[in-house]
């Protein structure tokens, strides 16, 4: 009988998940690619357009990277079972005070929302705020990345640049859009949950409780048409 795996404490504990590794590689490559291209464009002595506008995009982009990196390090190194200062920012509602058992950590976690395979750690009351901020920072970061690529590829900035550089900028923009879709979906979903005042597990259970619509059969269609005719409404063609 194989030995039971030890409980996880933090996201950096082994074994690492494939989603976790891909998120590291994807974010690192996309961010490094963006700054390499931005440096090539901004450090060129010959000006092709208003590069100052691109520099204005780089500054908030760097802020998003710094905020996201700080939140990511906290999420990967702080055990969700231990109290944190971020827990005080959440209300003492049932969503954030109810404890659930997590099999990955083999412990009960206050306000457990879900287990994130991209971070390989559970998200609960003690680390939900940095998780939400990370999703927001990632959304804005890659939106700025895509906007910068679109600006450089605009007709006014495309003239005089090498084909290789333009291909790199276009690839960076497409790469950013792919990652942006994931971050925007994550941020939008948790913003929706915050609006509803419910957690991920509660939302999943709520979806399971929604009754499925009855199947449409010939008899039900005939009854519906008969009812419409009886009400003086002609049946649909």
pLDDT confidence of residue 47:
63
Task: Give the model's confidence band at 220: pLDDT under 50 very low, under 70 low, under 90 confident, else very high.
Answer: low
Mutual orientation of helices 18-42 and 128-152 as an angle, nearest 10°? Answer: 40
Write the pLDDT tens digit of every residue in 61-70: 999 999 999 9
Q: How do the domains of the chain map onto residue ranges? A: 18-230
Torsion (CA) 110, 114, 117, 121 in degrees, nearest 10? 0
Task: Give the model's confidence band at 166: pLDDT under 50 very low, under 70 low, under 90 confident, else very high.
Answer: confident
Between 55 and 24, name the one with better pLDDT. 24
Among 114, 103, 116, CA closest to 19: 116
Q: Which of 142-156, 205-219, 220-234 has the highest mean pLDDT?
A: 142-156
pLDDT confidence of residue 56:
86
Mean pLDDT of the chain: 86
pLDDT confidence of residue 216:
59
Once rounded to an integer, what is the mean pLDDT over residues 120-147? 97
Residue 229 has pLDDT above 60, yes or no: no
Residue 156 has pLDDT above 80, yes or no: no
- Residue 47 gets which letter from DSSP? -
Helices (H), the chain: 18-42, 51-77, 94-97, 128-152, 155-158, 163-196, 200-209, 218-230
Between 8 and 40, name the one with better pLDDT. 8
The residue length of the chain stands at 237
pLDDT confidence of residue 5:
75
pLDDT confidence of residue 39:
87
pLDDT confidence of residue 23:
96
- Identify whether the C-beta of residue 142 lies closer than 8 Å to the C-beta of residue 183: yes
Least confident of 121-130, 133-142, 165-174: 165-174
Q: What is the pTM of this model?
A: 0.83
């Amino acid at each position: 009988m194989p030995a039971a795996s030890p409980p996880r404490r933090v996201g950096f504990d082994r074994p690492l998940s494939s989603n976790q590794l891909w998120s590291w590689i994807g974010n690192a490559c996309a961010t490094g690619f963006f700054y390499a291209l931005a440096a090539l464009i901004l450090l060129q002595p010959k000006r092709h357009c208003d590069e100052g506008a691109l520099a204005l995009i780089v500054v908030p982009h760097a802020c998003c990277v710094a905020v996201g990196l700080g939140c990511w390090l906290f999420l990967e190194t702080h055990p969700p079972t231990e109290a944190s200062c971020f827990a005080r920012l959440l209300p003492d509602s049932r969503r954030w005070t109810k404890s659930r058992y997590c099999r990955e950590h083999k412990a009960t976690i206050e306000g457990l929302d879900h287990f994130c395979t991209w971070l390989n750690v559970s998200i609960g009351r003690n680390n939900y705020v940095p998780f939400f901020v990370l999703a927001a920072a990632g959304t804005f970061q890659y939106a700025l990345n895509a906007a910068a690529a679109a600006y450089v590829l605009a007709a006014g900035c495309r003239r005089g640049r090498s084909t290789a550089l333009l291909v790199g900028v276009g690839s960076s923009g497409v790469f950013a859009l792919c990652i942006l879709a994931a971050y925007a979906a994550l941020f939008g979903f948790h913003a929706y949950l915050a609006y509803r005042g419910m957690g991920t597990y509660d939302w999943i259970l709520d979806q399971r409780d929604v009754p499925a619509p009855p199947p449409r059969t010939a008899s039900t269609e005939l009854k519906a048409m008969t009812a419409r005719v009886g009400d003086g409404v002609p049946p649909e063609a």
